[in-house]
Amino acid sequence: MKRGTPPAPQTRAGRPAVSRSRRKEILVREEILGTNRKVAAELRKRFEERGVLAVNMISSPGAGKTALLEALADRVKGRFRMAVIEGDIETERDAERIRRKGVPARQITTGGACHLEAKMIGKVIPSIPGDVELLFIENVGNLVCPASFDLGESLRLVLLSSPEGDDKPKKYPEAFLSADVLIISKADLFPHLPFDAARAAREALDVNPRLLVFVISALTGQGLPEFVEFLAARLAALRHA
């Protein structure tokens, strides 16, 4: 929508005419994120038709998204084919960590953007193996912005790690409101912190009573078997839908 220089209106005699601009109102009533939603809906259809459970992971930086994926890679090996799309502002580091676990990973570096958008996912889909069953999308570490952008996932996880504090859900409601699952991570640190897991869960459930809550330690493996069974059930449900 670049500004052009409109030719000056001329009368038949060639003299400039008196400007006859008028103003007009256009009613739109359109959702600004409509385009992202449309792309996301196409992706979701594609994933579900191919029997892929796509999972969007949202949290603040350092809440343990990559560590959880590393632990999951070990747990699902030989059972489900898993792949990861990594979103970060810079570096390939997270994708390299996942690849070291023998799991295909594709890094998206946003170069500054604080969230992933559906069209970014669409662009990297061709480089994801076609036979994948669990596709994790690790969003840019940020508890605010990613919540507004549907990526075509069938499941949205929000992670809250114990060092962040149990009062976060009501301070950052959007991320908790839009998620299906809350993972309280770094459970191994509970004995060392004034963190009340029950309060964190209660706050999150106040914001969104539909949330399913898992308490997990990627380090000790606490809560992982239950979470893997949950993913397996969701994958089976998606395939029989």
Partner 1 sequence: MHELSLVASLFDVIECHVKEQKPKAVTRVRVQLGRMSGVVPELFETAFDTYKKGTLAEDAELEIVVVPVKARCRSCRRIFRPAPDAYSCPHCGSDRWKLLEGTDIVLEKIEIEI
Please give the residue ranges that form the binding site for partner 1 (CB under 8 A): 1-3, 6, 21-36, 113-115, 117, 144-145, 147-149, 170, 173-174, 177, 205-207, 209
Q: Which two tokens stand for residue 41?
A: 């809906």
Tell the smallest beta-carbon distance from residue 167 to partner 1 (Å).
Answer: 11
Choice between 133 and 153, CB closer to partner 1: 153
**Beta bridge partners of residue 158, listed in sequence order:** 58, 182
Question: Closest separation between CB of residue 226 and partner 1, Å?
Answer: 24
Shortest approach of partner 1 to residue 165 CB, angstroms? Answer: 16
CA gap 207, 76 in Å, rounded = 31
Q: How far is the CB of 67 from partner 1 (least distance, A)?
A: 25
30 vs 49, beta carbon nearer partner 1:
30
Cα torsion through 103, 108, 113, 118, rounded to 10: -90
Which of residues 22 and 192 has its CB atom nearest to partner 1 in the complex? 22
- Compare residues 7 and 14 and give the one whose CB is closer to partner 1: 7
Count of beta carbons in the 10 Å neighbourhood of residue 14: 6
Cα 39 to the center of its chain, rounded Å: 14
Do residues 17 and 10 touch, judged by C-beta distance below 8 A? yes
CB 138, CB 65: distance < 8 Å: yes
